[in-house]
Amino acid sequence: MKQQPVVGLLFALITAIAWGTLPIALKQVLANMNTQTIVWYRFITASVVLFIILWHKNKLPTTAKLGYYGWLAIIGIVGLAGNFFLFNNALNYIEPSIAQIFIPLSSFGMLICGVFVFKEKLGVHQKIGLVLLLIGLGLFFNDRLAIFTELNTYSTGVFISISAALVWVVYGMAQKLMLHKFSSQQILFMIYLGCVFVFMPFAEFSQVENLTPFTFGCFIYCCLNTLFGYGAYAEALNRWEVSKVSVVITLVPLFTILFSHLAHYIDPSDFIAPELNTISYIGALIVVCGAVLSAIGHKLFAYRA
């Protein structure tokens, strides 16, 4: 597909904003619904809409074409289902801004997998980016490091968030390999539908009746977020360079912090402001800088050379 930088940037920004605001809304819904039920509703919504789109285009994937890719689809289902479950569950223990700070771990996980699976070389800029990530995380948790010396609610939430970010790599690798055979929409549809069946036995559908008008609005946003968040991400990759899309996606933690403050300012009774000190904000910025460097650092180094 022909490169469309402006459109690609727009889709990447939509993705970053969608993923950045998602945990803020999820936090509200989790007070009245369990994780597996929320995840099931999110996946069924995305599956139905994608089915309609693909059916209209006469591009529904068929099992006859799967072959070897069927195993990749199963791996992708396991990865994305695990990521959604773990990330949603982490919000029961920690605030959104804390959960999102680990998103760059997914990018670095993809880089490491690239080294072992595709025999890619880890560049100097990527190694520096990884060091910056670790330094940034240390600064981000500067006033809470003692909490990690024992198992408690906070450390449990952090561990689950890290696990969610790393499990996402399984989905990311499967999708990357499946793009050789299927379009991004077809891949998402197959994986979404698979996740629907994974969570169906555990979902308590009646829980939606317990939602207040406010939390129901947040719930609807979470369901639609899955569709336009991942949909925009796939379209961004189709229209812009992967490295540049990755740079925009690294802004997700900063968007979460920004929108958390904005939501608290508008409605302080329902939304809690991030409990971060100045060093934590600096740490978050360094984490993002490390991720950005790993994505486009090769161009910066090449320019200097």
Which of 236, 100, 80 lies closest to 161, judged by CA? 100
pLDDT for the residue numbered 263: 93
pLDDT band at 144 (very low <50, low <70, confident <90, very high): confident
Residue listed under structure tokens 């199963």: 74
pLDDT of 303 over the 50 cut: no
73-93: per-residue pLDDT in tens? Answer: 999 999 999 999 999 999 999
DSSP 32-73: TS-HHHHHHHHHHHHHHHHHHHHHHTT----GGGTTTHHHHH
Task: Judge whether residue 128 has pLDDT over 60.
Answer: yes
pLDDT of residue 299: 60
- DSSP-derived 3-state class of residue 7: helix
Give the model confidence (pLDDT) of 260-295 as tens digits: 999 999 999 888 888 888 999 999 899 888 877 776
Q: What pLDDT is stored for residue 217 in this prediction?
A: 94
pLDDT of residue 38: 94
**DSSP secondary structure code for residue 121 in this structure:** -
From the number of C-beta atoms within 10 Å of its C-beta (0-12, 13-18, 19+), residue 103 rates as buried
Considering only residues 247 and 275, tell me which one the structure prediction assigns the higher pLDDT.
275
The pLDDT value recorded for residue 130 is 81
Assign 304 a pLDDT band (cuts: 50, 70, 90).
very low
Least confident piece of the model among 7-21, 162-176, 227-241: 227-241
pLDDT over 90 percentage in the chain: 40
Q: What is the mean pLDDT of residues 45-50?
A: 92
- Alpha carbons 272 and 250: distance in angstroms, whole number: 23
Angle 244-248-253 from CA coordinates, rounded to 5°: 150
What is the CB neighbour count within 10 angstroms for residue 156? Answer: 15
Which residue ranges make up each domain of the chain? 5-304
pLDDT-derived band at 1 (thresholds 50, 70, 90) equals low
Token pair 């800088």 is found at 289
Best mean pLDDT range from 123-132, 230-239, 262-271: 262-271
Q: What is the pTM of this model?
A: 0.85
Q: Are 199 and 43 in contact (CB under 8 A)?
A: yes
pLDDT at 113: 76
Name the percent of the chain lying above pLDDT 70. Answer: 92
